[in-house]
Copies of this chain bind each other. A is one copy, B any other.
């Protein structure tokens, strides 16, 4: 029952993700951003004023995690949350000017990080790599419809 951690997809996936996160953390720190805000920001840069529910649906992130992330984002002046007038349960999320202005540099930082990490890969390898990861991710959703 041998187990080589550097041959285990899951182990390697975790390790690689930490490396990416570490690099991106450093790159966006000067912007006053942290990695956890990225998914929400990407959605909001595209469509401002989404509800928390909609953000959760668009991203594979739990509701509680999103609530916490949004709370930090509000604290840090990236978003404002306001109650929907029609439905008092709904919170709409709006970007602040500051957050809107960070789009360019933040995306640039992410692209730089990706570029550095994949510097050793040929263009073909990069494409394969992305495709293979996407396949792992897609393998999930249909199988585990659970997700409560």
Contacts and interface: CB of A to CB of B under 8 A. Distances in A.
Interface of A: 1, 3, 5-21, 23-24, 35, 38-39, 42, 60, 103-104, 107-108, 110-111, 113-114, 116-121, 125-126, 128-130, 132-140, 143
A60 B14 CA distance: 11
Nearest to A60: B15
Question: How many copies make up the complex?
Answer: 2
A28 to B, nearest CB: 11
A108 B133 CA distance: 23
Given A1-B104, A7-B130, A16 B114 contact: no
Contacts of A6: 134
A119 B16 CA distance: 21
Nearest to A120: B139
Contact of A128 (B107, B128, B143): B128
